[in-house]
Amino acid sequence: MTPDLFRALCGRFTTGVTIITTLDANDNPCGMTANSFASVSLDPPLISVAVDHAATIYPVMRAGSRFTVNILDAHQESLSRRFAEGLDDRFDGVAWQRVNDQVIISGTLAFLRCDKWAEIPAGDHTIFVGQVMSGETRADGTPLVHYRGTYVE
């Protein structure tokens, strides 16, 4: 298995796009674009996301006990790009709110507030399993969709 073929294979699976957010020890917001989000269990309500060990949010998520999954709307492609670019100032100019020590990005399709439930090392990533404690969704909106390494209508 080559990295190129692995990417090509996995890229045939169409996903939505999320930004995973949390607060660091200094109360600064952290966030990263992620499409590895999946629902895992109904009882208890669990979700998972795989985070690269090289990502700046990784040590923050290891140290912390909560994170939020923000599910992006189609109009938020620029946010998805911004939170995947490695910027230090990625929250500058971004509308977000701090609610119950969680970082909620405005204008999304939905957000899920999670307590960290498990961490499972998996190669160069760690799968963070979160128990969904609360969340909100919108009745309207269109999902941001990712396929074969690009955003599609």
Ligand X SMILES: Cc1cc2nc3c(=O)[nH]c(=O)nc-3n(C[C@H](O)[C@H](O)[C@H](O)COP(=O)(O)O)c2cc1C
| Binding site residues, ligand X, CB under 6 A | 17, 32-36, 50-52, 55-57, 80, 84-86, 146
Buried b (16+ CB within 10 A) or exposed e, 15-52: bebbbbbbbeeeeebbbbbbbbbeebeeeebbbbbbbe
Decide whether 54 or 139 has the Cβ nearer to ligand X. Answer: 54
Closest to 54 measured CA to CA, from 78, 22, 86: 86
Min. distance of Cβ 79 from ligand X in angstroms?
A: 11
Decide whether 16 or 139 has the Cβ nearer to ligand X. Answer: 16
Min. distance of Cβ 90 from ligand X in angstroms?
A: 8
* CA 11 – CA 150 distance, rounded (Å): 9
Contacts of 83 (CB under 8 A, 6+ apart): 19, 31, 32, 33, 90
Could you give the dihedral angle defined by the CA atoms of residues 53, 55, 58 and 60, in that order, rounded to the nearest 10 degrees?
Answer: 150
Decide whether 100 or 147 has the Cβ nearer to ligand X. Answer: 147
Min. distance of Cβ 9 from ligand X in angstroms?
A: 16
Min. distance of Cβ 121 from ligand X in angstroms?
A: 13
User: Tokens for 106?
Assistant: 């405005």
Decide whether 10 or 100 has the Cβ nearer to ligand X. Answer: 10
Decide whether 36 or 107 has the Cβ nearer to ligand X. Answer: 36
R_g (Cα) of the chain, nearest Å: 15
Min. distance of Cβ 106 from ligand X in angstroms?
A: 19
